[in-house]
Amino acid sequence: TNQGLGVIMLEYLIDKARAIDIDNFVANVSSLNDNSLEFYLKNGFEERGRLVNAGRKSGTDFDVVFLQRFIGV
């Protein structure tokens, strides 16, 4: 929604994760979801791999993109 709520929620989750010694986050996103990919990349996640043509939606093949962000403890 471009109102910053996603960033607020992500930072909240990161704070809670650090408190219980979690040191990285992993996400998987459809390659068709440009908004989600942009969000994660803008917030410190890096692409770590992808499953090519892993799915099909409405006749369109898509990849599953794996992203990771180390948050440290």
Using one digit for the tens of pLDDT, what is the confidence trace for 6-65? Answer: 999 999 999 999 999 999 999 999 999 999 999 999 999 999 999 999 999 999 999 999
Cα–Cα distances in Å, from 32 out to 16, 67, 68?
30, 15, 18
Per the listing, tokens 């410190």 go with: 44
Q: Is the pLDDT of residue 2 over 90?
A: no
1 has pLDDT over 90? no
Residue-level pLDDT at 51 = 98
pLDDT at 72: 85
pTM of structure: 0.87
